[in-house]
Amino acid sequence: MYTASDKRYEKMLYNRCGESGLKLPAVSLGLWHNFGDTGNFENMRQICFTAFDNGITHFDLANNYGPEPGSAEKNFGRILKEDLSQYRDELIISTKAGYDMWEGPYGNWGSRKYLLASLDQSLKRLGLEYVDIFYHHRMDPETPLEETMGALAQAVRSGKALYVGLSNYDGPTLRRAEELLDEMHCPFIINQNRYSIFDRTIEENGLKDTAAELKKGIIAFSPLAQGLLTNRYLNGIPEDSRIRTDGRFLKKEALTQERLQQIRNLNGIAAGRGQTLAEMALSWVLRDGIVTSVLVGASRPQQVVDNVKAIENLEFTEEELKKIEEVL
């Protein structure tokens, strides 16, 4: 039986999520990759143990994480049951619904039917009575926002979620959703969005500014741009890289000569700060206090340890920030 390190809370930084009572670790673990049926289960266990031993209390899932869809929740549910059950009250476990999950008209998007059925399925796979955060995974252009937000509120009222969040929303839709959730007295506390040195979408669509104005947290996924903002690709594409082994989300075409030169230039800036490129990329996302946590993935335990080091240097000079922008 796994026993957690008694020093697990000594180094991690915990940030308040908006103006809620909940704090999240500055670095959280995402199970988007490497926790599906194609992964090695013992490696999954060791990644989770290493994360918790280093103060990472937040584990992020979605109904469709795999492959195949649902398998990441099943595998993490097994780890919870066999190894982490005694620590349940120290863990923040989140899941989502919003992308295609099962056949027919009720397994996708944002209807009340889909969201509440999906949550029940997720809880069964995880072996839990509740999740700490339940997200709507993406905006639905056809379902009334009132219906989707009402389903999130129902999830909390039923005791199956403690808090709710929104993922892949823009600023204007976030504002309308917040008004609806506030009217229903639903504890909406967090937004999950892609954000990195290479991807500034939340700066451009108003999400980051609106979240800060409304005092809602942000957790950033893909802060390392699917591994591009690491030393993995400084000398080309390794055979065991994500591009080679899982081309679903990171394509070979993404690593152009221009992008490769940007990565090398950013690596030089990071070295000047005494950081690896990955550490600097994570620190950059957390630099201004608006982002509550960065969501990192890992294919092996050591990557978790390396990523946690980012919190040791979150300060940037104006000159460093200027140099990063000039690289881009």
pLDDT of residue 170: 98
User: Can you tell me the distance from the alpha carbon of 44 to that of 76, in angstroms, rounded to the nearest whole number?
Assistant: 8
Task: Kindly tell me if the per-residue pLDDT of 50 is higher than 80.
Answer: yes
Confidence (pTM): 0.94
Task: Kindly tell me if the per-residue pLDDT of 115 is higher than 80.
Answer: yes
Smallest CA-to-CA distance from 314 within 325, 291, 217 is with 291
Smallest CA-to-CA distance from 40 within 75, 84, 11 is with 75
Task: Kindly tell me if the per-residue pLDDT of 266 is higher than 60.
Answer: yes
pLDDT of residue 249: 56
205-227 confidence digits (pLDDT tens): 999 999 999 999 999 999 999 89
Tokens 């194609």 sit on residue: 38
pLDDT of residue 1: 86
Phi-psi region of 86 (alpha: psi -120 to 50; beta: other; left: phi over 0): alpha
User: Can you tell me the distance from the alpha carbon of 186 to that of 178, in angstroms, rounded to the nearest whole number?
Assistant: 9
pLDDT of residue 250: 61
User: Can you tell me the distance from the alpha carbon of 110 to that of 119, in angstroms, rounded to the nearest whole number?
Assistant: 12
Half-sphere exposure of 45 (CA within 13 A, CB side): 13
pLDDT classification of 291: cutoffs 50, 70, 90: very high
Find residue 120's DSSP bridge partners. none
Half-sphere exposure of 240 (CA within 13 A, CB side): 2
Smallest CA-to-CA distance from 198 within 271, 250, 143, 275 is with 250
pLDDT of residue 287: 97
Q: How far is residue 224 from each of residues 106, 236, 296, measured CA to CA in Å?
A: 34, 17, 8
67-87 confidence digits (pLDDT tens): 999 999 999 999 999 999 999
Length of the chain in residues, anyone? 328
Phi-psi region of 303 (alpha: psi -120 to 50; beta: other; left: phi over 0): alpha
Sort 17 into a burial class: Cβ within 10 Å, 0-12 / 13-18 / 19+: buried
pLDDT of residue 233: 85
Opening angle at CA 101, ends 170 and 89, nearest 5: 75
